[in-house]
Amino acid sequence: MTFNSFTPPKRTLLGPGPSDISPNVLSALSRPTIGHLDPLFIGMMDEVKTMLQKAFLTSNEMTLAVSAPGSAGMETCFVNLLEPGDKVIVCRNGVFGGRMLENVERCGATAVVVDAPWGRAVSIDKVEEALKANPDVKFVAAVHAETSTGACSDIKSLCSLAKQYGCLTIVDAVTSLGGIELRVDDWGIDAIYSGSQKCLSCVPGLSPVSFSPAAVEVIKQRKTKVQSWFLDQSLVMDYWAGEGKRSYHHTAPVNGLYALHESLCQLLNEGLEQSWHRHLLMHNLLKQGLTDLGIEFIVPEDERLPQLNAVYIPSTASDAEIRTALLNDYNIEIGAGLGELAGKAWRIGLMGYGARRENITLLLGALRALL
Ligand code: PLP
């Protein structure tokens, strides 16, 4: 029996992620693998750390890429900061806020859930009510860009509020990093995690994270051991420390990190603010085309993410038929609705390298022909 190589088709990825990867990043991935403790590789990791600090707009020393997907970045933040008995406000306005809640509960902490309707931003007023009613809360956790609904929450205001009540903040930036304004230090975010496969347009499987000095202090003062050996940041810290301190913790995903290095080069060479601006321009182009087709957005205009466009499926269209035809006849992937929005929504991603005019023209042409 012979086994054949897998050769995937060339799709245009316009779903909720992974996003299209540029030829430069793909080519970086296929460069020769070297040892993960090779001095040249260590030098490259130092550059990845510096570029992540620039992408997050932070000077946090503890900034690194977890060797696993965004969910592991999420878990890294929760398992390192929370101890049994801690109280955490979890803002939930979609699937990923729900996952934060799971994490809090699995850490043996107590969650105070502040719900917002699907397709809406987190309500700062409701968070303040929860803070007033629960003076013993230690952390406030929220998703910046809720990929399941396309809603953007006001993390700047949320962090400033949390600080007034003496709380640390944990922010999910899986879909926001590189795509919309995000300022870790200026906004006072204490723990943040992202993903490589969204607006960074890198291969899936890496999760940039960053911890403020206050968050690092909480980790240092823990009374209990972090329940996950792999995600315990006190052990990984030396691995990313540089300056001759690097020692073996786990085998780094060497080629994946080449790809992340290249995608960060692309982001920073374009310019962070220019990248945010490009995502907005492309969103406006798509919005115009979808509106012309009579397709309506789920999220109110001032709470919308440019990089994740959640729209109602037109009543005359069959969800599965259209998405299948897009995939099979046009090689275009768009996302189905998730959770409460399953069967009701399409999620059109314009992320990173995918946020380009030609992709919008292609998608709108295909939708025009199919609807
Ligand atoms: N958080 C958000 C907002 C996401 O969109 C995702 C993935 O889509 C995750 C967390 C989990 O990331 P991953 O699928 O890389 O584990």
Residue 243: predicted pLDDT: 61
Cα(199)–Cα(149) distance, integer angstroms: 17
Contacts 24+ apart (CB under 8 A), 154-161: 154/121, 154/122, 154/124, 155/182, 155/187, 155/189, 156/183, 156/186, 156/187, 157/124, 158/91, 158/122, 158/124, 158/127, 159/187, 159/188, 159/189, 160/187, 160/188, 161/124, 161/127, 161/128, 161/131
Other C-beta atoms lying within 10 Å of the C-beta of residue 135: 9
Cα(325)–Cα(156) distance, integer angstroms: 41
CB of 172 within 6 A of ligand 1: the answer is yes
If pLDDT is split at 50, 70 and 90, which confidence band does 248 have?
confident
71-87: pLDDT as tens digits: 999 999 999 999 999 99
199-246: pLDDT as tens digits: 999 999 999 999 999 999 999 999 999 999 999 998 887 777 666 677
CB of 69 within 6 A of ligand 1: the answer is yes
308-312: strand order across its sheet: 308-312, 345-349, 335-336
CB of 162 within 6 A of ligand 1: the answer is no
Torsion of CA 102, 105, 109, 113, to 10 degrees: 60
CB of 96 within 6 A of ligand 1: the answer is yes
Residue 213: predicted pLDDT: 97
Residue 224: predicted pLDDT: 96
- Atom 14 (ligand 1) nearest CA: 70
Overall size of the chain counted in residues: 371
Give CA angle at 330 (333, 276), nearest 5°: 45
Q: Tell me which architecture the domain covering 25-268 has in CATH.
A: 3-Layer(aba) Sandwich (3.40)
Can you name the CATH fold of 12-18+272-370? Aspartate Aminotransferase, domain 1 (3.90.1150)
Which two tokens mark 45?
Answer: 């990791």
- Atom 2 (ligand 1) nearest CA: 174
Domain borders along the chain are: 12-18+272-370, 25-268
Cα(360)–Cα(282) distance, integer angstroms: 8
Q: Is residue 198 within 8 Å of 17, Cβ to Cβ?
A: yes
Question: Which ranges of the chain does DSSP label H, i.e. alpha helix?
Answer: 23-29, 39-56, 70-81, 95-106, 124-133, 155-164, 184-187, 213-220, 233-241, 254-270, 272-292, 319-330, 357-370
Nearest atom in ligand 1 to the alpha carbon of residue 207 is: 15
30-47: pLDDT as tens digits: 999 999 999 999 999 999
Give the three-class secondary structure for 221: coil
Residue 240: predicted pLDDT: 73
Tell me: pLDDT of 287 over 90: yes
Dist. CA 93 → ligand 1 center (Å): 14
